[in-house]
Amino acid sequence: MAEAKLRHYSLRIDLGMRSGEIAGLRVADIDWRAGTVTLKGTKSLRQDILPLPMETGQALADYLQHERPVSTSNSVFVMHRGDHDRRMTAGAVRGVIGSAYWRIGLTHTRSHALRHAFACRLVENGSSLKEVADLLRHRSLNSTLIYAKLDTPKLAAVALPWPGSAA
């Protein structure tokens, strides 16, 4: 079960997926050959195709082959209640991530912080805000600006003086 919890975290930090998107992920949504994940019924009510990093794909494949409980559900992540199983809910995904935070001693337990970390990592590695917005599936760059908070001290160190100001 601990490994399954790491899969939720990996999908959030490596792909910027929302809890509902993780919960709704079906085995058929993963194209192993193309290295993509298709998200259906997202917050934006559209279908999106995301690149699947090799490490994340390997972790998912390992989970599906060796750790996922036997289930008739086509969901990647399932919950067992008594003698039946069902797909994972968004609330359960948030709970799993929150529990992982608690186990490592973090007091901030909002699972959405991983989407913020994903956006910041993309910006720090040179991605444009448009690229980050596309990967987060935002309709507005203003939403992305909230997620991709820039490192102001680093920016100040490379900023050029304002034209006409005392250098």
3-state secondary structure 2-45: HHHHHHHHHHHHHHCCCHHHHHCCEHHHEECCCCEEEECCCCCC
| Catalytic positions | 18, 43, 112, 115, 138, 147
- Total-model pTM: 0.75
The reported pLDDT for the residue numbered 27 is 94
Query: In this model, does residue 2 exceed pLDDT 50?
Result: no
pLDDT of residue 163: 67
Q: What is the 3-state secondary structure (H, E, C) of 35-102?
A: CEEEECCCCCCCCEEEECCHHHHHHHHHHHHHHCCCCCCCECCEEEECCEEEECCHHHHHHHHHHHHH
* Residue 44, pLDDT above cutoff 80: no
Q: What is the pLDDT of residues 8-23, one digit of tens each?
A: 557 777 888 888 889 9
Residue 157 confidence (pLDDT) above 70:
no
CA 112 to chain CA centroid, Å, is 9
